[in-house]
Structure 1
């Protein structure tokens, strides 16, 4: 019995990895990082403890949403060998690489870590508003896929994810550093929100056929080609927001580097070929799903470094 338990525990980290989709956890963590350092750049001071605690909290709640999505796919039998992406960090439950018990334990562990770091922040800031926002974030992460009304099956999933994962987390990160919010904070949060929307939209567009009969996503409402073409006005809004920051609070070199990131990771390595797709094909999600994630990683990591240098 002890030998079996030891063997189970020894293999648990690998099995846990297969249901967490760790690479997308940074979709929340990195906006928190760059927004915190953006605030530090504007004020000239950085509260590293608040940054670290909120980064861990946001990252944890994103993993909670990922694991909840894995559990849903397993319970609803929404995935099979024809829809697998081949990424070892996800689909472990439906592939049989992890058990339902593994997924539940992972879910509870990340809820515990995110909740603990969140409660420490509430204690340090003495803010009940922050506590309520944390509860909202946790409920949003769980109800993304689970519960009686999971919004992943509705055409509002992209918007809610963008508001919570990108926009709200960015504003809270800024507030934790400054104690106030201004126009620059909201403009930067809008950019963070739209980058998250890009990620969700691209994944839903790639799953256009797979989701039929299972989910009604935004691409199903506006049509496949329109779900791609809508990136044009959305991208224009992001660039306009960046130009506004460039004329108001950014240094010329921060602005130029940001433009280069948008051009290389946003256009050359993603949208340039994405706009050419006329109809969905089986490997589309695998080919283009990671592209906006690379944009998110590049933008937030590079800008966080530049903000830190200028602080």
Structure 2
């Protein structure tokens, strides 16, 4: 009984709950964006997909915790001290706790995804869900986890941000268009920012353990490459606004980028010449804050515009 009562708290320490929103929020904003475009909101499919995407993101986080523990890749010198992470390595949770948490989140995400595919009678959704779950698990676990190779940023960006965003808008609209593709590209690039910043901060720690993109292109180049990626993001945002929004939404988005991308992150990040021990702890969360603010505000804006345009709300 004592073990069961303490399990939720121990499970929390290996889930890294906050990064689950890196999938959950893009799904929410993209779904509401799609609903705004067609004037109809399918509530239950949106909620089910948010639960599925968020859960699969947690699956990837827990799998990463298990790998770090089994491979002895973390110690006191590498702890980020972020709440809800590294509990397995610290000893707050046991391997059994982590495995049960992994299975539980697979169950929650899998059941919500299956129900969504059944409601919409879509084998495509079922197939994409299976691929997403496979990507979440094999990110860190299995004989050839792709966390070991310099493709992790792209694959994570594709599944966590891009594909989940595109599917969410497709569920609402029933089609893929230039504006939903551009919105998904924004989500993908923001996820790439998050993964890239974490990998760059772990540059020294990962040497000899895995080969990430910063090891291939060099430390400074891994910081500088953010600039052309951000230019691509701005182009995608311009396309979204030209095809879907009024001018004030475009300016509002630019304000978010100016504050969360430049002022609170990149203006300091750009100046770093060499990795230092606290780098991951200081800069790792900043791209996540960009994701929070952009997709949080876009969710509110799309929902307000949807009701102002007298959109129809349906449960299914």
Q: Same fold, TM exceeding 0.5?
A: yes
CA positional deviation for 1:244: 1.8
Distance 2:122 2:16 in 1: 31
Matched with 1:146 is 141
Where does structure 1 lack aligned partners over 5 or more consecutive residues?
1-5
4+ residue segments displaced more than 2 Å: none
SS in structure 2 at match of 1:19: helix
2:163 to 168, 174, 177: 168
Q: How many angstroms apart in 1 are the aligned matches of 2:174 and 2:238?
A: 25
Alpha-carbon distance between aligned partners in 2 of 1:127 and 1:225, rounded to the nearest angstrom: 45
Cα shift at 1:241: 1.1
Equivalence for 2:220: 225
Cα deviation, residue 88, structure 1: 2.9
* Aligned match for 2:269, one of 249, 274, 291: 274
Name the residue aligned to 2:98.
103
Give the Cα–Cα distance (whole angstroms) in 2 for the partners of residues 73 and 115 of structure 1: 25
After superposition, what is the alpha-carbon deviation per residue over 1:244-280, rounded to whole angstroms, capped at 9, x for unaligned?
Answer: 2222211122111111111100100000100000000
TM, length-normalised to structure 2: 0.96
Task: Name 1:20's counterpart in structure 2.
Answer: 15
Q: 2:284 aligns with which of 289, 300, 304?
A: 289
Match of 2:296 in 1: 301
2:51 equivalent to 1:62: no
Q: Quote the Cα distance in structure 2 between the aligned partners of 1:205 and 1:60.
A: 26
Contact kept, 8 Å, 2:203 with 2:214, in 1: the verdict is yes
Query: What corresponds to 1:259 in structure 2?
Result: 254
- TM normalised by structure 1 equals 0.97
Separation of aligned partners in 2, 1:193 and 1:125:
25
Measured in 2, the distance between the counterparts of 1:247 and 1:52 equals 28
SS of residue paired to 2:205: coil
Q: How many residues align?
A: 306
Q: 2:24 aligns with which of 25, 29, 32?
A: 29
Match of residue 3 from structure 1: none
C-alpha separation in 1, matches of 2:115 and 2:237: 33
* Structure 2, unaligned runs of 5 or more: 307-316
**1:91-139 deviation per Cα after TM superposition (whole angstroms, max 9, x unaligned):** 0000000000000000000000000000001110111111010000000
Distance (whole Å) between structure 2 residues aligned to residue 114 and residue 203 of structure 1: 25
2 CA distance for matches of 1:41 and 1:179?
A: 13
Checking the alignment, whether the CA contact within 8 Å between 2:204 and 2:275 is kept in structure 1 is yes
Q: 1:239: which partner in 2?
A: 234
Alpha-carbon distance in structure 2 between the residues aligned to 1:283 and 1:229: 20
Structure 2 partner of 1:45: 40
Structure ranking higher on relative contact order (CA contacts 8 Å, 6+ apart): 2
- The residue that corresponds to 2:81 in the other structure is 86
3-state DSSP class of the match of 2:41? coil
- Compute the RMSD of aligned alpha carbons: 0.6
The answer to whether the 8 Å contact 2:58/2:105 transfers is yes
Q: Secondary structure at the match of 1:209?
A: helix
1:46 counterpart SS class = strand
Worse-matched range after superposition: 211-220 or 246-255:
246-255
Match of 2:245 among 241, 250, 254: 250
SS of aligned partner of 2:231: helix
Pairs within 5 Å for 1:73-222 = 73-222=68-217
